[in-house]
Amino acid sequence: MKKFLSVLFLSGLLAVSSVFAAEESSGSIFRPDPAPVTNFLPEHHLLKLQSSDCPFQRYWADKSINWQNYKKIILVRVNTDHLLTQSWWSQVNSRPLFENAKNDCNTIARYTEDAFIKAICTDKNKRFKLVYKPDPETFYLKIALVELVPSKPFLSAAETGAGFVIPGAGLLAMANKGCVAMEIKLVDSMTGRVLAMATDRERGDPALIDLAGLTWYRHAETSIDNWATEFIKVANSPQGIQGVEDGSRFRLIQW
């Protein structure tokens, strides 16, 4: 029995070491495929797929824009009208059926607004100021949630329990992780001209011991926090999106 457990333990350590090596080389082995683009971005044909270490999976910006001319942001209420039809896996959930999924979407939408407000207001460079009236120095920040799949707490609990015994077990079982996808566009507040667009889909940061997976939407909140932080980093980077790496990363414990 001891020999068997030793083999399992060593196998787990090997899995963890391989994860670290792959994470270091590619930066995103746990990143899901991009979500289909909705009509929230009518000019989505302009979007370009980015490298795996970029903060957003697809991105486009008007190269003729002088971004220094924009100093203020109007944050538009987050849109949930374009949520994609959930997969069969998202329906296999133990949550009581009488709970309204729309309430969950609205809750996460408000969380998204708060995350971006916090990121903008706490930016040490004070790149943008939040305002409520349009003018030539202002653009609208428009965000749509297009996918929201809760994690499966009971299955995550089983995997997390295994993770305490067999290192790597929590890392290798990603199918039941909740995910969230968003689309974002920046629009000139005076002309309605689209200045930039981006899309991204995330599962939340992979972890050896995944305590966040024991809650319904903690993975989504982690991803949203990353998006808000990355948005400000891109705004402050002289190289734009090329100067910012994806904020998703491996964690020993995901809270």
The answer as to whether 255 is a domain residue is: no
The neighbour count for residue 26, using CB atoms within 10 Å, is 13
Query: Residue 158 and residue 252: Cα distance in Å, rounded?
Result: 17
* 231 band by pLDDT with thresholds 50, 70 and 90: very high
* 22 band by pLDDT with thresholds 50, 70 and 90: very low
Global pTM?
0.73
Query: Residue 172 and residue 163: Cα distance in Å, rounded?
Result: 10
The neighbour count for residue 1, using CB atoms within 10 Å, is 5
Of the segments 127-141, 190-204, 240-254, which one has the largest average pLDDT value? 127-141
pLDDT of residue 3: 52
The answer as to whether 216 is a domain residue is: yes
The answer as to whether 74 is a domain residue is: yes
Which percentage of the chain shows pLDDT scores above 70? 59
Domain of 132, in residue numbers = 2-245
229 three-class SS: helix
Query: Residue 106 and residue 151: Cα distance in Å, rounded?
Result: 17
Is the pLDDT higher at 56 or at 102? 56
For 135-163, how does the pLDDT look when each residue is reduced to its tens digit (9 = 90+)? Answer: 999 999 999 999 887 766 544 444 444 44
The answer as to whether 171 is a domain residue is: yes
Mean pLDDT over each residue of the chain, to the nearest integer: 74
131 three-class SS: coil
Question: In sequence order, what are the beta bridge partners of 179?
Answer: 149
The neighbour count for residue 143, using CB atoms within 10 Å, is 24
The answer as to whether 196 is a domain residue is: yes
Query: Residue 194 and residue 160: Cα distance in Å, rounded?
Result: 44
The answer as to whether 105 is a domain residue is: yes
The neighbour count for residue 214, using CB atoms within 10 Å, is 16
Count the alpha carbons within 13 Å of 35 in the hemisphere toward its beta carbon: 29
145 three-class SS: strand
> How many domains in the chain?
1
The answer as to whether 254 is a domain residue is: no
29 three-class SS: coil
The answer as to whether 250 is a domain residue is: no
For 76-122, how does the pLDDT look when each residue is reduced to its tens digit (9 = 90+)? Answer: 999 998 876 555 445 545 455 435 566 778 889 999 999 999 999 99
Segment 65-75 shows an average pLDDT of 96
